[in-house]
Amino acid sequence: MFSPIPKISPQNVEKRIQDDPFQVIDVRSREEVRHGKIPQAVNIPLDELEERMEELDTSEQYVMVCRSGNRSAKAAKRLQKNGYDVKNMTGGMMKWRGDIEV
């Protein structure tokens, strides 16, 4: 049995991203990401996560992001089952108020 996925607010991601080593993974489609993403985020669309999982390091911490928090929760569960340290950003990009990279 796996523990619940830890959550992190967009405000905490914005504060911590400056000085805390973690990677943001945006699981939205490439088309969605073209409209703007968190500057440090890496785009791995949810439907590519299984085949691209080897790009990620189990010793790193990841924050999963999508539009509203649902797809990123699914992605976080998949990664957790495979031994990754993950958190889900609540509210997704709809609640993000920080900088956006286009």
> Listing from the earlier edge strand, what are the strands of the sheet with 61-65?
7-8, 85-89, 61-65, 23-26, 42-43
Would 22 be classed as within a structural domain?
yes
Kindly state the average pLDDT of the residues 26-43: 96
Would 58 be classed as within a structural domain?
yes
| Cα of 30 vs its chain's centroid, Å | 14
CATH of the domain at 75: 3.40.250.10
Domain extent at residue 73: 7-95
Q: Report how many domains make up the chain.
A: 1
Q: pLDDT tens for residues 42-95?
A: 999 999 999 999 999 999 999 999 999 999 999 999 999 999 999 999 999 999
| Cα of 8 vs its chain's centroid, Å | 10
Would 78 be classed as within a structural domain?
yes
Rounded to whole angstroms, how far apart are CA atoms 48 and 29? Answer: 10
Would 85 be classed as within a structural domain?
yes
Which residues are designated catalytic? 66
